[in-house]
A and B are shown apart, each in its own frame.
Chain A
Amino acid sequence: MTMDKSKPMTLGHDIRLELYRQQLELRYCEKRAYDLFLQNLIKGTSHLSLGQEAIAAGFGVAMRPDDWTFCTYRGHAHTLARGASMEGVLGELMGRQCGLLGGKGGSMHLTDVTKGAMGSYAIIGAHLPVAAGAAWSAQYRGTEQVAVCFFGDGTTNIGAFHEALNFSVIWKLPVIFVCENNLYMEYTPISSVTAVEHPAADRASAYGLEKIVVDGNDADEVYRTAVQYMERARKGGGPALIECMTYRHSGHSRADPGKYRPEGELDRWLERDPIKIYRERLLGLGIVEATLSDLEKESMRKVDVATETAKASPVPSVDDIETNVWADGSAAWRN
């Protein structure tokens, strides 16, 4: 099936405002997570998506409520973008009872099955075959659901990436693999450890897939691409591998100040901040300033309320430690 790229899909103001709102919420919530770390209210580690919000928002808005998201430990934004409760996310980061996982998972495992957020996976590559399996289930049952699987550029050099791509293509599964290429594999430039320029897209041909590289900082472009390939997958057209070019504004994780980045690089990308460019675009399209500032206030209020709700939530009970290993709720390994 070929796509008519000469006529880009027209986006209405409602979709665009939704994309803007979504990006704002993700941005403000990630910034809040960072602040809560500094206050020592969030422990452990955390991998923020600051600067990469357009990808989560673009796909999140494009997905059907019964589609599935599989993401990595950098998964706060993807989980929120499916509509998971913000206090559930912040509560989990803070280790509170109201957390999505009751404090058992933490930042790297956010999941909300009721919203189709089928898990955040902290072992590089593992969730690509898992997403393929969900897509197989959709195909088997004829539900036209699509699995969307997000991962970083570093994932393209691990075996599971290649196994999952080949497997998904030969079974023609409705799964979309989305590489968020933020140029760095943890602390190392991806270009210095990868045989090809585009770590995902340049491998696509090995699996009979089209090379797709999009501007991951442009929510419209991400949204259009998402709709196009998800619709194709829904109709039996098989998987796609989409490489979204982006940049993380902060380091790899909480422990990383990102000092390995050449001087000026961050500044150049801040000029291309997805939220900044989107705001300018909306104003250019005739959406009035007041509409945007209202959305901004509303989004910030939502983050404030979620923060306070999560802070007020009690910590989990120690009685919960040995629960929910098994489907009967127990942790029993003997009689």
Chain B
Amino acid sequence: MAELTYRDAVAAGIAQEMRRDENVVFLGEDIGAAGGVFKATVGLFEEFGPKRVRDTPISEQAILGAAMGAAMTGLKPIAEIMFSDFLAVCWDIVANEIAKTRYMTDGQITLPLVIRTANGAGSRFGAQHSQSVENWAMMIPGIKVIAPAFPADVKGLIAAAVRDPDPVIIFEQKSLYAFKGEVPDGEHVEEIGKAKVLRHGTDCTIVALALMVHRALAAAEILEREHGISCTVVDVRSLVPLDTVTILAEVAKTGRLVTIEENPRLCGWGAEIASIVADEIFWDLDGPIIRITTPHIPLPSADLLEDNTIPSVERVVREIREKID
């Protein structure tokens, strides 16, 4: 086990796959010589050279379109979209082209490509560089959607995404890039589509994603220690495919579901999970489902405003205490 930052785990995951398979190529803005604006791809250009690690112009449609064309003709591209907000300028390529092509061609074209993007708030960047947009992707049939919370998952899920024959979009939480964690030595590959139970409790099951997993764990600690409320914490990790087996089992055990979502309120992934839980294990529930989300607003920039917008540990503790006690 080595301790790596979340950002170093990105580079480690990409490097592991590029060493293994020469058809893996990497493209995006400032990813090569500059090592990425978040320094998450440092060292790749030096190790693999400009043929495989290619800096692009600010042309998101060209980046993802090229990744798609390369994927359908034998390469396994990893494309970076610097901020997930920028997906909006190339959403046609994601939603209409990459996601739909396999189905529309009845399986003639398969697209083994990976889109990586920095997602989420916490950096005071304002409404166009801070959104959590994983729900945009979750709504589109034909693309897998993952969002790791820990460095080991970053490395292992990037590896799995590269090896996956289908398109995968990875939402990396930008405020986690400096977070350190243990990463297994040697080749490390995780399975896409598996949630992970990080803490076992008896009173409620908190289901969270990315940065919110860390807040859930911190809140669970306080709730247990100070308020005698025992929480299970499930890291969803993968929105598509969704590990409903684990989620339903863990919710059934405690009888309560709490989702913690960084996204704005409407149509958040938690609503889908709430719907599945209500449909399938309603009689195992002991009380209403609780969704803790960002309000349905564009994100503000100032410290105080941003901190009071996305769900905080204090807010999670408060809402669970009020509704579960």
Contact = CB atoms under 8 A, between A and B. Distances in A.
A, B from the same assembly: yes
Interface of A: 68, 70, 101-105, 109, 111-113, 118-119, 121, 123, 125-138, 140-141, 145, 147, 159-160, 163-164, 166-167, 170-171, 320, 323-329, 331-335
B166 interface: yes
Contact of A102 (B106, B165, B193): B106
Contacts of B106: 101-105, 320, 324
B243 interface: yes
Interface stretch (B30-38, B94-102, B129-137, B289-297): B94-102
Contacts of B245: 335
B240 interface: yes
A131 B62 contact: no
Contact of A136 (B61, B66, B104): B66
B105 A134 contact: no
Nearest to B75: A137
A163 B59 contact: yes
Contacts of B62: 129, 132, 160, 163-164, 166-167
B65 A326 contact: no
Contact of A126 (B72, B93, B112, B242): B93
A119 B242 CA distance: 30
B107 A123 contact: no
29 contacts: A70-B69, A111-B105, A118-B69, A119-B109, A126-B65, A126-B92, A126-B93, A129-B64, A129-B68, A130-B97, A133-B68, A133-B69, A133-B70, A133-B71, A134-B70, A134-B73, A136-B66, A137-B69, A141-B74, A147-B69, A160-B65, A163-B61, A166-B57, A320-B106, A327-B102, A333-B141, A333-B242, A334-B243, A335-B244
Contact of B59 (A140, A167, A329, A331): A167
B25 A324 contact: no
B110 interface: yes
Nearest to B51: A140
A160 B73 contact: no
Contacts of B108: 101, 111-113
Which 9 A-B pairs rank lowest in CB-CB distance, beginning with the nearest? A133-B69, A129-B65, A133-B66, A327-B165, A134-B69, A163-B59, A163-B62, A167-B62, A137-B73
B18 to A, nearest CB: 13
B67 interface: yes
B244 A334 contact: yes
A335 B236 CA distance: 13
B56 interface: yes
Nearest to A167: B62
A126 B100 CA distance: 13
B69 A123 contact: no
Contacts of B66: 129-130, 132-133, 136, 167
Most interface-central of B102, B103, B105 (chain A CB within 10 A)? B105
B142 interface: yes
Nearest to B246: A335
A70 B101 CA distance: 13
Interface string B65-95: 1111111111101000000000000001100
Interface in B267-298: 276
A130 B92 CA distance: 12
B165 to A, nearest CB: 4
Contacts of A323: 107
Interface of B: 25, 51, 54, 56-57, 59, 61-75, 77, 92-93, 96-97, 101-110, 112, 141-142, 165-166, 193, 240-245, 276
A61 B244 CA distance: 52
A170 B92 CA distance: 23
Contacts of A111: 104-105, 108-109
A326 B102 contact: yes
Nearest to B52: A140
Contact of A105 (B104, B240, B276): B104
Contacts of B97: 121, 123, 126-127, 130
A171 B25 CA distance: 14
Contacts of A130: 65-66, 68-69, 72, 93, 97
A321 B72 CA distance: 23
A118 B65 CA distance: 13
Nearest to A145: B73
A128 B66 CA distance: 9
A109 B92 contact: no
A121 B96 CA distance: 9
Contacts of A101: 104-106, 108
Given A104-B103, A334-B242, A335-B245, A136 B57 contact: no
Given A113-B109, A119-B105, A335-B241, A133 B141 contact: no
Contacts of A138: 73
Contacts of B166: 326-327
Given A326-B102, A335-B241, 6 more contacts: A123-B97, A126-B92, A126-B96, A129-B61, A166-B62, A326-B142
A133 B93 CA distance: 12
Nearest to B79: A133
Contacts of A123: 92, 96-97
B141 A325 contact: yes
A105 B105 contact: yes
Nearest to B71: A133
Nearest to A105: B104
Nearest to B96: A123
Contacts of A137: 69-70, 73-75
Contacts of A329: 107
